[in-house]
Structure 1
Amino acid sequence: MNNKPYSDIPGTTVFDGDMVRIGFHLNQFCMSLMQESNRAAFKQNERTYLDNWPMMEAQKKAVIARDFSQLIALGGNIYYLVKISSSDGLSVAAAVSTMTNLSVDEYIEMMCRGGRSPAGNRYVVSNSSEGKQ
């Protein structure tokens, strides 16, 4: 998977076909949280609920820790992962801010200003023959 032309963008995990396969059961678990009965079962005993899903152990541990950066690295799609934070009563901004070094308010302010600067968020290796800058 690391031989992809976009594998060296700092701080970025591209949700491609490989990540879809890796995160399939994790993302299906997240979608299950759309039903109130499933959210209640999950909140009652998170580990027991997670053990009903054929997820990797690392994925289960990251769910319990609410480590969204790790969940993305393990195939989670942010649009599915926010179902976890919503089950906790948190906003999307609160969940996403945990992946930064910013408080929720600082994160919201940064996004209102247009988001992160692209400086430093380009390809690590410059290779103009592949269109990288």
Structure 2
Amino acid sequence: MTSTTDIHAYLAEFDDIPGTRVFTAKRARQGYHLNQFAMSLMKAENRERWKADEAAYLDEWKLTPEQRAAVLARDYNRLLDLGGNIYFLAKVFSTDGLSFVQAVSTMSGMSLQDYQAMMIAGGRSPEGLRSIKDKH
């Protein structure tokens, strides 16, 4: 049987993976309202209201100030840090007219062309930085 301390230590290890944010139960709780906002954009009438006045539309959701700022800035990496789920956030960038690969390339700091080439070649190499805390 795993103790509560052991499970928390195990889950904390996910935060040590460079460039990766694992969507844990903690992140799900943190991002609940953010993800509900994103999912609301599945309805055409909500997308139109969002496009007409983003700030006013966000007023209807219980977002933290940090989540609100990140949504308005389309800072997807920050939104993931704040509990966003990439599949829910896809509703935001889709509403903006971006494909999944276009949006994710902005999150990688790479051009769309470089990101696509990397993915076609098999993705990021497993060699290199494997641990944030150990720097290897």
Distance 2:87 2:39 in 1: 10
Deviation of 1:108 after TM superposition, in Å, equals 1.2
Deviation of 1:2 after TM superposition, in Å, equals 9.9
Amino acid at match of 1:8: D
**Contact kept in structure 2, 1:6 and 1:123, CA below 8 Å:** no
Question: Cα deviations across residues 34-87 of structure 1 (Å, max 9, x unaligned)?
Answer: 000000000100000011000111111111100000000000010011111100
Distance 2:132 2:69 in 1: 30
Q: How do residues 1-133 of structure 1 correspond to structure 2 at under 5 angstroms?
A: 4-124=12-132
Distance 2:11 2:41 in 1: 35
> Residues 42 and 2 of structure 1: is their aligned pair in 2 closer, same or farther, counting only changes over 3 Å?
farther
Q: Which has the higher helix share?
A: 2
**Structure-1-length-normalised TM-score:** 0.88
Tell me, what secondary structure is at the counterpart of 1:105?
A: helix
- Count of residue pairs brought into register by the alignment: 127
Fraction of identical pairs, as percent = 49
Amino acid at match of 2:118: M
Question: Cα deviations across residues 86-115 of structure 1 (Å, max 9, x unaligned)?
Answer: 001110011101111211121111111111
Amino acid at match of 1:41: R
Deviation of 1:124 after TM superposition, in Å, equals 3.8
Amino acid at match of 1:92: F
Output the aligned Cα RMSD.
Answer: 2.0
Structure 1: segments with no counterpart, 5+ residues: 127-132
Structure 2: segments with no counterpart, 5+ residues: 1-8
**Contact kept in structure 2, 1:10 and 1:120, CA below 8 Å:** no
Tell me, what secondary structure is at the counterpart of 2:51?
A: helix
Moved over 4 A (4+): none
**Structure-2-length-normalised TM-score:** 0.86
Amino acid at match of 1:44: A
